[in-house]
Each structure stands twice: as C-alpha cells, then as structure tokens.
C-alpha cells in the first residue's frame, strides 16, 4: 500500500494511489492523500496536480474490512475524519486538481473527484455512492457536483452507478479517453493549466471556491453526523458485517 507524489519539470505534480486489491483506502490512506495535497498546495513549483490510481479501479471508498477489524468506534471515526481531511485538502489545494479516473469510482472516490477541479475519465470508468447499502451516509455533497438534483436522489437511494460517458454529457467529466491513454490525457490537460501564470491560476482557484453555491466542507460534515447516528444505533455495523461476509467486492 502506498501513495507517491512526483513533480514534473513542467510543474505538474502527479499523485498516485496504490492500495491493492481495489484501492479501498485504509484510515491512514485518507490522511496520506490529505498530506500530499497540502504539500502540493504549499509548493510554489506545483502548478497543477493530477490525482490518479494504479490498479483496476480508481477508488472503492473506505476499507470496510479494516474498519470491522477495529474494535469500538475508532475505525469509523478515523475513516470519517480521514475522508473529511482528504476531500477538504483537494478542494482547498491552491493549485487546480485534475482527477484521472479509471474503472470504478465509488463512495469516498466520488468525494475525491467531486472536490477536484477537472475530471478526465477512462472509457471503462463509472461512478456511484453505495453508502446506503453499507448502512452509512456521505459523499452526496460531492455527487451533487456531478449530476442533476433528482438524479442525485435516485442514485443515492438505490446505489446505482453512472458511466463516465453520461457524466461527460452533463459536462461533469471533461473528457473520456481509452484506458491506456488516461494518464497521458490527464497530464496533458494539467500541463495546459501549468503553462499559465501560476499567480493568476491560484487566484482563479480561490475565486472559484469563493463563489461556490454550497460550502462543501460544512455540507459533508453535516452528512457525517447522520453516519455517526447510524453507527451508534448499530445499523451500520450490521451492514458492514454483511458486506465483509459477502467477500467485499467493490460492486457488491
């Protein structure tokens, strides 16, 4: 399990997540993403960021198996705090963040890309928030940045997914490319941003955040309150145990 960060000569920083087998991030993984984004934000040499993943999918959300191995509430508290910090760090990163999405992007993965500035997706990519099936809530804040309002509700209640091609029709995904070309396409787009005056780009990022109609940090924290209620009621544990017993595949 690892997270790497490398700055190219053109000012594009590539952050790569690799958490086999399905990029379901453990508690520390979310904090590592947050730390990498804060490092990028503080580095004047970083003009744009590409967030990508190794493996057959971009992100399968939190590592539920790890969470169920941890006694008490420290697992859920750690995962929720880690997700909050990772999403917040992406949103507040002074340099624009381009997410390169391959395969599945589920749960917390939608939180990562929903707070990104640009999404480039492979032609096999799909997105969804299966939280309801896991006895939890969250990432509706970020899904709402990708799909229209009533589609958000129908997806959230049913745990249905949406393809990258469909999101491209909405304008949420900037480009859909063959999987083999994904990283190159995302880096090329980020390089186009990096070629601009970084003083202007960083000011533009701050300005755009300032005119957002929803405070994404506060909105997501509001959602998390209901997740904590479901955990205290024992509902979430029952659903997570069932998920682990079923084998815990990203599409389960």
Q: Which domains does the chain have, with CATH numbers?
A: 2-182+190-245 (3.90.226.10)
Alpha-carbon distance of 15 to 147, in angstroms, equals: 26
Q: What is the mean pLDDT of the chain?
A: 95
Cα dihedral across residues 167, 170, 173, 176: positive or negative: positive
| Mean per-residue pLDDT, 13-28 | 97
Place of tokens 């970084």: 198
Alpha-carbon distance of 156 to 114, in angstroms, equals: 15
Alpha-carbon distance of 208 to 121, in angstroms, equals: 23
Q: What is the pLDDT of residue 249?
A: 67
pLDDT at 73 over 70: yes
Q: Does residue 200 or residue 250 have the better pLDDT?
A: 200
Q: What are phi and psi of 50, to 5 degrees?
A: -110, 125
Alpha-carbon distance of 19 to 82, in angstroms, equals: 15
Q: What is the pLDDT of residue 140?
A: 97
pTM for the predicted model, two decimal places? 0.94
pLDDT at 31 over 80: yes
pLDDT at 250 over 70: no
Quickly count: other Cβ atoms within 10 Å of residue 92's Cβ.
16
| Mean per-residue pLDDT, 23-49 | 98
The arrangement of strands across the sheet holding 175-177 comes to 2-7, 12-18, 48-53, 97-101, 118-122, 175-177
Q: What percent of the chain has a predicted confidence (pLDDT) above 70?
A: 98
pLDDT at 213 over 80: yes
pLDDT at 252 over 60: no
Q: What is the pLDDT of residue 234?
A: 86
pLDDT in tens, 113-165: 999 999 999 999 999 999 999 888 999 999 999 999 999 999 999 999 999 99
| Mean per-residue pLDDT, 182-199 | 98
- In what helix (H) or strand (E) does residue 37 lie, and over which residues does it extend? helix 27-42
Alpha-carbon distance of 159 to 133, in angstroms, equals: 7
Q: What is the pLDDT of residue 72?
A: 82
Q: Which of 71, 50, 81, 92 is nearest to 192 (CA)?
A: 50
Q: Which of 49-53, 121-125, 244-248 has the lowest mean pLDDT?
A: 244-248
Task: Annotate 94-163 with DSSP letters as a single string.
Answer: SS-EEEEE-SEEETHHHHHHHTSSEEEEETT-EEE--GGGGT----HHHHTTTS-HHHHHHHHHHT-EEE
What is the pLDDT confidence band of residue 232, given thresholds at 50, 70 and 90? confident
């Amino acid at each position: 399990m690892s997270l790497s960060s490398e700055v190219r000569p053109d000012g594009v920083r590539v952050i790569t997540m690799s958490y086999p087998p399905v990029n379901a991030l453990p508690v520390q993984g979310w904090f590592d993403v947050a730390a990498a984004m804060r490092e990028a934000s503080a580095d004047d040499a970083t003009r744009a960021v590409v967030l990508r993943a190794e493996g057959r999918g971009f992100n399968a959300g939190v590592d539920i198996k790890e969470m169920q191995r941890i006694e008490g509430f420290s697992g859920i508290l750690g995962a929720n705090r880690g997700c909050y910090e990772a999403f917040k760090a992406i949103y507040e990163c002074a340099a624009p963040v381009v997410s390169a999405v391959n395969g599945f992007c589920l749960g917390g993965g939608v939180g990562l890309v929903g707070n990104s500035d640009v999404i480039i997706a492979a032609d096999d990519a799909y997105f969804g928030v299966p939280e309801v099936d896991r006895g939890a809530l969250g990432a509706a804040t970020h899904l709402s940045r990708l799909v229209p309002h009533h589609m958000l509700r129908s997806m959230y209640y049913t745990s249905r997914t949406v393809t990258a091609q469909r999101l491209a029709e909405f304008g949420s995904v900037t480009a859909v490319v063959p999987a083999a070309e994904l990283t190159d396409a995302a880096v090329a787009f980020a390089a186009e941003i990096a070629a601009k005056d970084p003083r202007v780009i960083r000011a533009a990022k701050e300005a755009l955040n300032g005119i957002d109609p929803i405070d994404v940090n506060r909105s997501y924290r509001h959602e998390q309150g209901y997740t904590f209620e479901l955990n205290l009621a024992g509902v979430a544990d029952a659903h997570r145990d069932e998920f682990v017993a079923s084998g815990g595949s990203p599409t389960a």
